[in-house]
Every structure is written in C-alpha cells, then in structure tokens.
Amino acid sequence: MTSSGPLVAEASTAPATNNNLTASFRVATFNILGAGEPWSGTQNSFRFWENRLPDIERILKEENFDLIGFQELFTGRIESSAVREILGPGYKSTPMDSFKKRKNAIFYRSSLFRMMEHGFLELTKVDGNRHALWVLFEHIPSKQRFYMYNTHISHTSAEARKISSEIIARDMETRNKQNLPIIMTGDFNTDGAGKGKPTTIFAGVGLRDARDIIAARPVSITNTTLQDNTFHSMRPTLRRQGIHIDKIYVSDRVAVQSYHVLVEPDVSRRPSDHFPVVASVRLRR
C-alpha cells in the first residue's frame, strides 16, 4: 500500500500569504455513475449515460462549483470528455493518470486554484483496485495552501473500508507537517461513527464530517437535506434516513459555512444514483 507521489505540478516554493484576502469557495463530491459502470446501463432507461447527461450538465452549470471531487469518472471514455466540455476552459483537472483505472478526478476553477503537487495512495483490492488522490492546492487570490483528498472505498467489505481509511489518515499525518487545512471528498460506502468506521478514523487526525458540523447548529432545522440519503439507487421514492455515504470531511482549519445534498425528487431527472453533496467553506489562517 504505497503512494505514487508526489508529482510536482508547478513550482512549489512557499508564498507569502495575502492576509487581506479570504479563501472562501464551494466544494462538491459527486459519484457520477460513469458510463463504464454496470449500473449505468441496466434496469431502467434513465440510467443510461446519454439519458442522464443533460441533467449532469444542468447540475454542473447551475451549481457553479469551485472544486469537485468526482468518483467513477473514467479516462478515455465519453464521460471524461463530456465533463470537460460541460465545465469548459475555466476549469482544469488533475492529470489524466488520476482517471486511468482509478476514476477519482478533481476538477478545479483555474482562476481560483493552482495545483502544486499531487499523488496517489494504493488502498485495497477487495472489489477492484481502490485508490485515493491527494493534491496540494494554492488558493490564488489569498496565496493560502491546503490539501485535498478524493477517494472511493469498498462497497462490499467493512474491513477494507477500515484499512483504506487508516492508509489515508496515516498519509495525512505524514504529509501535512505544516498543519495546512485539509478537505477530503469521496464515496465512503458507509455512514456513522464507531470502531473501524471512516468517520471515527478520520476524527483521530482532526477531520470532521461537514454534515455533522452543520447539523450541530440551530440553523440545521431548516436544512431538510440533512435527512436525505445521498445514495438512492434510482428508487422512485426517496429514503429519508439521513444516511450519507458521500462525504466532505474537513480539518479544524476549514470553516464550514453551509452544506446541502442536492436532491432531485424526479427520478427521471437524477444525474446519477448518488446525489451530489456541496459545502461552502472558508480556510482559516
């Protein structure tokens, strides 16, 4: 279980921070149900990629995300080129090797962020090769730097999820010697805390679920999406059990200002079998 990085994207000499500017932006996690996935072409016609693509485009253009951690986005297939075309020249992505076989790409607004370094962590092979992508970003206006991780861990094995989470947590401890802010997006295929659970393991290195941060505030009473499952499997009736397997974790140097699951009640207009999740965040100095 090793890292293939770091790969230096641009000169990484530490800059002087511009203390007059705030690094605030919208980050999303989105399991896009790639065209190469078995679920995308079975059962119901609205699962097919070509039928979902207009709603993928609608979501991406309406929501205007600044940073997006995708899962199930393949290289060399129609979905990767489609997403690039939808987002347009104002966005860049992690290099193509982040797509190949790994499927966990990060797209970012190039006017706001500069990618300084990136690399990969090998996780488990229980149900396919699972990886995590990490990136050292610089927020261009403020010169603040932060780490972002993106992953998609096992859907069949609790032990594999535990091992994957521990590998990522150890890497954060080892890599982040400067105590920079950390944001992690992904499909973790489980929810809740407890022994061996991702939320508990990441809490050990100072990360919290953005949902839990918002849920603890009085304003959460008006946020009905806190009760919506993020994975719905294209069922016509939404399950409102509050099971969030698609997550945005943040360290204590990241302030969470808002959080929402982007629910689409009409099953024929859902862009994936997962709802995108978005948080507005601010980097603390």
Q: Using CA atoms, how far apart are residues 48 and 196, in angstroms rounded to an integer? A: 35
End-to-end CA distance of the chain: 33
11 has a pLDDT exceeding 50? no
80 neighbors 97 (Cβ within 8 angstroms): no
- Summarised one tens digit per residue, pLDDT across range 147-171 is 999 999 999 999 999 999 999 999 9
**Structure confidence by residue, pLDDT tens digits, 33-53:** 877 665 555 555 667 888 889
Listed residue (71, 83, 68, 244) closest to 151, CA to CA: 71
Q: What's the pLDDT tens digit per position in 90-122?
A: 999 988 665 555 678 999 999 999 999 999 999
Report CA dihedral (248, 251, 256, 260) to the nearest 10 degrees: 10
Whether 14 shows a pLDDT value over 80: the answer reads no
pLDDT at position 10 over 80: no
Q: Which domains does the chain show, CATH number per domain?
A: 23-283 (3.60.10.10)
Whether the CB-CB separation of 132 and 104 falls below 8 Å is answered with yes
62-72 per-position pLDDT tens digit: 999 999 999 98
CB atoms within 10 A of CB 187: 25
